């Protein structure tokens, strides 16, 4: 990517050294529809996501970012290719096995916060564990709540929280079960710049302080700059990546990719 060619890996989606990979895809293809109306959302993607890193996925609207995330996270079934998450072959799983994987090993944050309006922040955060009838690790719950800075809002309902606070509750909910990977699709898409900053700082802290692995789709170069690495998609293909990104190098890369 231009003047930062030192940071450019061969565009095979692999990190440049032997860092441990928490999730990867090989030759991943996803098509929607049949015949004349076929859309090739993923046209053969090879990508590695590194354990203990925040990876951002960027690319134009329709380039396949959400599709990639959904196929990686077992929310959608790929047409062909392989997906492995935390040592499990997601591509070979039944719907039921994928549901179990999502419940027990993955965390999700979406653009719409998807909180339950009748539950308090604290109850929303522990809901996935309660549904799975798993015990809440109180020390970890406290660490997550302190990291999101929500200690004094725990007993409020979503309609008593700002958008940024609601999204931080959603982040805490994704993290409280210590998932192998957190997948976040435009987590700051509905937030103003200050709330975005808070959510991004938290996602990064979850990596630095709690050892989490996070994959985040974003359109915003300043959001992606919080990541350790950015991968770029275009037309369902991986077309570049950038290590140690800054908003400037990301903008350069986006310009170069057209």
Give the DSSP per-residue string, 232-244.
EEETTEEEEEEES
Pick between residue 69 and residue 147 the one whose CB is nearest to Mg ion.
69
Nearer to ligand ATP, 127 or 239 (CB): 239
Report the partner that residue 59 touches, choosing among ligand ATP, Mg ion, none (CB closer than 5 to 8 A by kind): ligand ATP
Query: Which of the listed partners (Mg ion, ligand ATP, none) does 32 bind, with a CB threshold of 5 to 8 Å by partner kind?
Result: ligand ATP
Considering CB distances under 5 to 8 angstroms, the limit depending on partner class, which of ligand ATP, Mg ion, none binds residue 166?
Answer: none
> 151-161 b/e with 16+ CB inside 10 Å = b?
eebbeeebeeb
The angle at the Cα of 49, spanning 183 to 62, to the nearest 5 degrees, equals: 60
63 binds, among ligand ATP, Mg ion, none (CB under 5 to 8 A by kind): ligand ATP
Identity of the residue, 64 or 164, whose beta carbon is nearer to ligand ATP in the bound complex: 64
Return residues touching Mg ion (CB under 5 A).
66
Residue 27: which of 71, 60, 87 has the closest Cα? 71
Q: How far is the CB of 63 from Mg ion (least distance, A)?
A: 9
Which of Mg ion, ligand ATP, none interacts with 64 (beta carbon under 5 to 8 A by kind)?
ligand ATP
In the complex, least distance from residue 65 CB atom to Mg ion, rounded to whole angstroms: 5
Look at residue 39 and give the partner it binds from Mg ion, ligand ATP, none, a contact being a CB closer than 5 to 8 Å depending on partner kind.
ligand ATP
Instruction: Give 161-226 as a DSSP string.
Output: S-HHHHHHHHHHHHHTT--SEEEEESTTTTS-HHHHHHHHHHHHHHHHTT---EEEE-S-HHHHTT
Instruction: Give the residues lining the site for ligand ATP (CB under 6 A).
Output: 32-33, 39, 41, 59, 61-67
Quick one: 7 or 46, whose CB is closer to ligand ATP? 46
User: Minimum CB separation from ligand ATP for residue 23, in Å?
Assistant: 17
Q: Within the chain, what is the greatest distance between any pair of CA atoms?
A: 55
Least Å distance, CB 88 to Mg ion, is: 24
* Nearest distance, CB of residue 62 and ligand ATP, angstroms: 4
Q: Which residues 6+ apart lie within 8 Å of 37 measured at CB?
A: none
The tokens of 181 are what? 């990977």
Per-position b or e across 198-233, b if 16+ CB within 10 A of its CB: bbbebbbbbbeeeebbbbbbbebbbbbbbbbbbbbb
CA 57 → CA 96, 97, 114, distances in Å? 27, 26, 22
Minimum distance of Mg ion from residue 219's CB (angstroms): 9
> Closer to ligand ATP at the Cβ: 71 or 180?
71
């Amino acid at each position: 990517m231009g003047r930062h060619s030192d940071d450019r890996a061969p565009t095979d989606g692999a990190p440049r050294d032997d860092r441990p990979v928490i999730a990867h895809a090989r030759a991943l293809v996803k098509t929607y529809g049949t015949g004349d109306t076929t859309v090739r959302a993923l046209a053969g993607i090879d990508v590695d996501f590194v354990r203990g890193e925040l990876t951002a996925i960027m690319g134009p609207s329709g380039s396949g970012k959400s599709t990639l995330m959904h196929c990686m996270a077992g929310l959608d079934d790929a047409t062909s290719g392989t997906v492995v998450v935390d040592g499990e072959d997601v591509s070979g799983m039944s719907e039921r096995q994928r549901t179990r994987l999502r419940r027990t090993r993955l965390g999700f944050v979406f653009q719409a916060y998807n909180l339950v309006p009748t539950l308090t922040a604290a109850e929303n955060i522990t809901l996935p564990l309660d549904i799975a009838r798993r015990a809440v690790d109180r020390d970890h719950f406290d660490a997550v709540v302190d990291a999101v800075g929500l200690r004094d809002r725990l007993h409020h309902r979503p309609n008593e929280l700002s958008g940024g606070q609601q999204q931080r509750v959603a982040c805490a909910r994704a993290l409280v079960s210590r998932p192998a990977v957190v997948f976040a699709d435009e987590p700051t898409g509905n937030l103003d710049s200050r709330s975005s900053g808070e959510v991004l700082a938290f996602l990064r802290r979850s990596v630095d302080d709690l050892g989490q692995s996070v994959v985040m789709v974003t359109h915003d170069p300043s959001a992606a700059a919080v990541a350790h690495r950015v991968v770029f998609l275009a037309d369902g293909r991986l077309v570049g990546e950038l290590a140690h990104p800054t908003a400037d190098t990301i903008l350069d890369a986006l310009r170069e990719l057209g």
